[in-house]
Amino acid sequence: MKFLSKDTVLLALMLLSAVLGYTLRPQILLADELPPIELSAMIPSSFGEWQEDKNLSAQVVDPEQREQLEKVYTQTLSRSYVNSNGYRIMLSIAYGKNQTKDAQLHKPEVCYPAQGFAVLSKTSVTLQLPGNAVTATRLETRLGPRIEPLVYWTVVGDRVTTTAISMRIAELRYALSNRIPDGMLVRISSIDTVTEKANQTQTAFANELVEAINPADRNRFLGVPAKN
C-alpha cells in the first residue's frame, strides 16, 4: 500500500475545505461559549524565580506590522522576565477569537524572517508541562550578531496543532458543528549564543509559567479538551 505524501493530503484537505465552504459556513464563535480570555490577568507578573521587567517589553512583531497584527489577533501580551542570575526571557502570547484560513496565527518561522532574521534550525520537541505534554517547535534565529533561540506552540480550539494539515483538520472539525475555533500562540525566547543553555532555561521557564497559571485557565494554553 502506498502512503499519501503530506502535500497530497494537504491538497485534498484544501479541496475539501473549498467544497464544504459552499455548504458549511460556521456562524458561532467557540470563544463566545467559553470563559473570556484576558491575557494580562491570566499571566502572572512574577512566578518561581522569574520577575517581570516592566522597563523592557518583548514585541510580537515589528511595529510596522501592527496594523496587520490587529486584524488577526484579538489580544497580544509581550513581557520580558528576568531571574536572580540576570538571565532574560521574552514571552509573547497572541490570541485570536476567529481562527480561520483568513485569520490564522502567524508562526515565528514566517514572522522572524519578515523582520530580517535568518532561521538557522527548526526542530519539533515535546514539552512535558504541568497538565499536558505539548508538541512544540524550537527555532534558532539570528539577526546580525544577535542569536535568539526560541520555542513556541499553537492551540486551535482545544487541540495543539503543529502543521498546516492539523490546523486545517481542526478548523473542519469545528465547522461540522457550526463553530469557528479560537487560536493561541505561545512563544518563549532569549538572546543566547549557547543554544543548549537557552533551550533548558526556556523549558524550565515554561514549566514554572504553566504551573503559575490558574488551573481553571491552564487548559486553554495547553490544548487540553474539556471533559464532557
> CB-based burial of residue 156 (10 Å sphere; 0-12 exposed, 13-18 middle, 19+ buried)?
buried
Q: Which of 69-78, 90-99, 124-133, 203-212 has the lowest mean pLDDT?
A: 69-78
* Contacts with 38 (C-beta within 8 Å, 6 or more apart), sequence order: 75
Average pLDDT over residues 8-20: 59
pLDDT at 15: 60
- Residue 206: the pLDDT is 98
Residue 226, pLDDT > 70, answer no
Per the model's pLDDT, the better-predicted residue between 15 and 174 turns out to be 174
Terminal-to-terminal C-alpha distance of the chain:
38
Model confidence band, residue 64 (pLDDT cutoffs 50, 70, 90): very low
- The string of DSSP codes covering 9-77 is HHHHHHHHHHHHHTT----EEGGGGSPPP-HHHHS-SEETTEEE-TTS---SS-GGGHHHHHHH-SEEE
Q: According to the model, what pLDDT value does residue 93 have?
A: 94
Range in 20-29, 55-64, 94-103, 114-123 with the lowest mean pLDDT: 55-64
The model's confidence at residue 1, banded by pLDDT at 50, 70 and 90, is very low
pLDDT of residue 63: 45
State the average pLDDT for the chain.
85
Residues 6 or more apart from 77 whose CB is under 8 A from it?
A: 39, 40, 43, 91, 92, 93
